[in-house]
Chain A
Amino acid sequence: MQTDYRQIFADGLWHQNTGLVVLLGLCPLLAITNTATNGLGLGLATILTLVFSNLTVSLARGLLRPEIRIPAYVLIIASVVTVVQLLMQAWLYDLYRVLGIFIPLIVTNCAIIGRAEAFASRNTPLPSIADGFATGLGFCLALVTLGALREIIGQGTLFSQAGLMFGEPGALLELTIIPDHPGFLLALLPPGAFISLGVLIAGRNWLNSRNVVRQELARSGLAE
């Protein structure tokens, strides 16, 4: 069976986007996205986790008998997340401090165990890595978009504190979109998170339905 990498990426980024379609991992998605930088930081940690976890599950799929596969997934994912946390604590210390409890909370992101079961346990390592990367990237894009939306509306900046978390090159990202912004607190608090996510999901659905209509028209046009 030839792996359809295009489909893997199309699904991970758009059709089955974890944060905007499948709606898994909502806890970190809503809680960490008060700035785009926080969203980006957690998104990168999640991509790393998904790639390692999918790879490990795929490599171990021979061992995973059906009766014990779920405890095995939990074991593997918990180990992978702890490894990611240790790596971040060692090499991305400021980001680690800012993300705090949300790094170990990646364990509770159902998307990870979801991909382990739905894909990595039934496929070879290379496609599994691609699937992990695509799913993580889709979630990361949702995190950054939501974070950017809330940050711009809430405090008028974009990628604030990026220099603190990613070092010198990060500082280049920091922008002030709306100078002298009075601050719109609602966007930065949980209710604003829910509302903003709703807006994003609606936006994605609208864009998607436009595409579907276009495709239908093209197809019916050709059929005639």
Chain B
Amino acid sequence: MVFASNKIFRSTVSLALVAVMGVTLLAAVNKLTEARIAEQEKKAILAQLGQLVAPDLYDNELQLDLFSFQNERYFPRGQTVVAYRARRDGMAVAVVLKMAAVNGYNGKINLLVGIKENGTLCGVRVISHKETPGLGDDIEVKRNDWILGFAGRFLGNPKPERWAVRRDGGEFDQFTGATITPRAVVEAVRLTLEFFEEQKLFLFESPSDSQSEDNS
């Protein structure tokens, strides 16, 4: 074959072979690890949810009974909120909202806000953030107990005008050298509680996103 001596042809074939090898390797490893990865992600979400709603309070599969929605008024900047519903014998027990505080010092702060059926907070946890290390990152439960102070609170404890950091006339401590971060989290939790008060039925009665495992 005349082509066999053509340099460009041979280079093309060799590069194509390398590409095929690479793709095959990737496909194989992907297949091999698929199941295990899905399991790990499920475990991670459950672990986070479990920090907020004690497993013995509900009997449904939290990570399956979820639905997503948007609400610009309470959850601005076009964010998609995910609501995980905890039920016992079909009755609503609690809901955990995966949402974001938008006024962080360095962008959005992703939060899990757990609210019991009666409007009391189970607790709040930070999923991810880009706040300043050593200053704003005291919102993390690993670094500081501050975030634990939300548990048990509701829209009355404290009164609406006291749902702010101390500097703003409210009841929540801010951090030395970092006011914006805790302010953003307090604001987000307050907004979430207000949304819950207004839309409790919507949160518990909306049908789950069918078959979808939340992977975001």
Contact = CB atoms under 8 A, between A and B. Distances in A.
A90 B15 contact: no
B133 interface: yes
Interface string A75-117: 1101100110011011101000100000000000000000000
Interface residues of B, number: 25
A67 B15 CA distance: 10
A195 interface: no
A83 B14 contact: no
B33 A79 contact: no
Interface in B6-54: 7, 10-11, 14-15, 17-19, 21-23, 25-26, 29-30, 33, 36-37, 40-41, 43-44
Interface stretch (A119-127, A182-190, A211-219): A182-190
Interface in A146-187: 183, 185
A91 B10 CA distance: 40
Interface in B126-161: 133-135
B33 A89 contact: yes
Contacts of A78: 22
A68 B15 CA distance: 7
A85 B30 CA distance: 10
B7 A76 contact: no
A60 B17 CA distance: 10
A83 B43 CA distance: 22
A97 B133 CA distance: 17
Interface in B159-198: none
A72 B134 contact: no
29 contacts: A34-B133, A65-B11, A65-B14, A67-B7, A68-B11, A68-B14, A68-B15, A72-B14, A72-B15, A75-B15, A75-B22, A79-B21, A79-B22, A82-B26, A82-B29, A86-B29, A86-B30, A86-B33, A86-B37, A89-B33, A89-B40, A90-B33, A90-B37, A93-B41, A97-B44, A185-B134, A185-B135, A188-B133, A189-B133
